[in-house]
Amino acid sequence: MHDFSSYIGIIGGGISGLALGCTLRKYGIKTVIFEKEPNLHNEGAGISISPNGLIALEYLDLKNELEKNSYKSSRAILKYNNSPLLEMDSQVYTMNRRNLISVLYKKYIDLGGEILFDYELKDIDIEKKECLFTNSSSYKIKHVIASDGIKSLIREKFFSGGSKPIYSGYSAWRGFTRSENPNVEISFSSNKHLVSYPINSDLKRSFTGIIKSNEQVTESWREQGNLETFIKQFEETNHQIAKVFESAEDIFKWGIFVRPPLKNIIKKNITLIGDAAHPMVPFLGQGACIAIEDAYTFGYLCHELKCEFDNVQKMYQLLRIKRNNKIQKMSLNQGKLNHLKNPLLVFLRNQLMKKTDIVSKRLKNIHNYDVHQETIKSLTN
Ligand SMILES: Cc1cc2nc3c(=O)[nH]c(=O)nc-3n(C[C@H](O)[C@H](O)[C@H](O)COP(=O)(O)OP(=O)(O)OC[C@H]3O[C@@H](n4cnc5c(N)ncnc54)[C@H](O)[C@@H]3O)c2cc1C
């Protein structure tokens, strides 16, 4: 048994775990991250960070690093069956997920954080505050953070009451190619949508295509897909797709599963953050941003409330659960909107997008959240 009883133990060194590690270390709080993979776990996929995620990173002094490692399109273009519907200013930084993880990792290590790779959590003895790992080691720690992602073992074991993930009917493709197009593009067609953006100044471009079908696809980030099938499925959505994908690297396919929102994200000495707390469908590109918000809030509360975890947890749950569940629900609804089939409804949606400011209003509602100010407000109320 390793005695780390003065440390906060973070299970999972992904986006939320590392962001929390940085926040806690910024305030000199002792942390150790346990990561199941043998090294930095970072699937090569595109990710967009919107202003609400960016502001949290800015409070962690990471804005410059993020800017250096990402691309900022000036325009976002929405299309239907290949014809423009709407053009607006783009607010997001887009990058390879790998770069985001590396930026967070480097900062965490620079701040004196500890991370142990090849440590896969097997169980927690809540009463004794002990974490047990598949490599047979065990650690006594002060507080456990579950940042173990969408398939969180900790959520399943201690929080979800045995509810199982349900196939959403959506399956997704992801891949990279190269293109001269500098814009963010979101293209709809009947029952499908395709999101693409550059991830660096060489205009390497990330594509995510979502289709609704009854064929159930495995929930895995590593399952190789067939490029020809992908191109065929999205030709109507983007007439150039075959040409754009001439220079493509591998393409992957995975199933999107839904998990019901939780009523509690705290229990005894365990706190859930990130996808473990609020697994969401990816249709608003908010999972990582909300995960970073969670991490910042929890870390800042630990600092302000001097690691009195009862108070920290109560305040954290109060602040986060409403916002998280709201974004989780909005993401699901966005999927329905993106995948309309009925021609009349499609027409009405497209007219609304073209003739009103509904899209930018909806986005502002999410993007204008300043996690630092909101946390301070809650402490002074
Ligand atoms: C197609 C798609 C596109 C997306 N695009 C965006 C986007 O553009 N913008 C955005 O904000 N979000 C996006 N997201 C969501 C985003 O990727 C996630 O919300 C985010 O990664 C959540 O961070 P996390 O730290 O909770 O989980 P993760 O980053 O997945 O990290 C979990 C970590 O825990 C580790 N782990 C798991 N189990 C154990 C264990 N038992 N013991 C130890 N370690 C363990 C894993 O190895 C991993 O390193 C997208 C998601 C998908 C599927």
Q: Return the residue whose CA atom lies nearest to atom 50 of ligand 1.
A: 282
Distance 182 CA to ligand 1 centre (A): 26
CATH number of domain containing 141: 3.50.50.60
Residue 319 sits in which domain range? Answer: 2-70+94-164+261-338+358-380
Instruction: Answer for the pair 169, 213: CB distance below 8 angstroms, yes or no.
Output: yes
Closest residue to atom 48 of ligand 1, CA basis: 14
CA 236 – ligand 1 centroid, Å: 31
Residue 171 lies in a domain: no
The answer to whether 199 touches 206, Cβ cutoff 8 Å, is yes
Quick: pLDDT tens for 211-264.
Answer: 998 888 888 767 788 888 888 888 888 888 888 877 776 789 999 999 989 999
- For residue 37, give the ligand 1 atom closest to its CA: 47
Mean pLDDT of 162-185: 90
Residue 132 located in a structural domain: yes
Report which ligand 1 atom has the smallest distance to the Cα of 101.
29
Number of domains in the chain: 1
pLDDT at residue 43 in the model: 66
Is 57 contained in some domain? yes
Task: Identify residue 348 by its one-letter amino acid code.
Answer: L
What is the Å distance from ligand 1's center to 144 Cα?
18
In the structure, what pLDDT confidence band is assigned to residue 82 with cuts at 50, 70 and 90? Answer: confident
Residues with CB under 6 A from ligand 1: 11-17, 34-37, 41, 47-48, 120-121, 147-149, 153, 172, 174, 208, 274-276, 282, 285-289, 291
Q: If we measure between CA atoms, which residue out of 173, 274, 169 comes closest to residue 213?
A: 169
Is the pLDDT at 193 greater than 80? The verdict is: yes
Expressed in angstroms and rounded, the spacing between residue 274 Cα and the centre of ligand 1 is 8
Q: Residues 33-43: pLDDT tens digits?
A: 999 999 986 66
- In a domain? residue 247: no
Both tokens of 34, joined, read 């346990």
Question: Strands, E, within the chain: which ranges?
Answer: 2-11, 31-35, 46-49, 71-72, 75-80, 83-89, 93-96, 114-117, 121-125, 130-133, 138-146, 166-178, 184-189, 192-198, 204-212, 251-258, 266-267, 270-272
- Residue 228: its pLDDT value, please? 87
Q: What is the pLDDT of residues 305-314, one digit of tens each?
A: 999 999 999 9
| Confidence band for 334, pLDDT divided at 50, 70 and 90 | very high
Quickly tell me which residue has 């969180």 as its tokens.
Answer: 152
Atom of ligand 1 nearest to the CA of 290: 11
Coil, strand or helix: which one is 351?
helix
Q: What is the residue with the minimal CA distance to atom 20 of ligand 1? A: 288
Q: What's the CA-to-centroid distance between 232 and ligand 1, angstroms?
A: 29
The chain-wide mean pLDDT, for the chain, equals 93
CA 149–ligand 1 middle distance (angstroms): 5
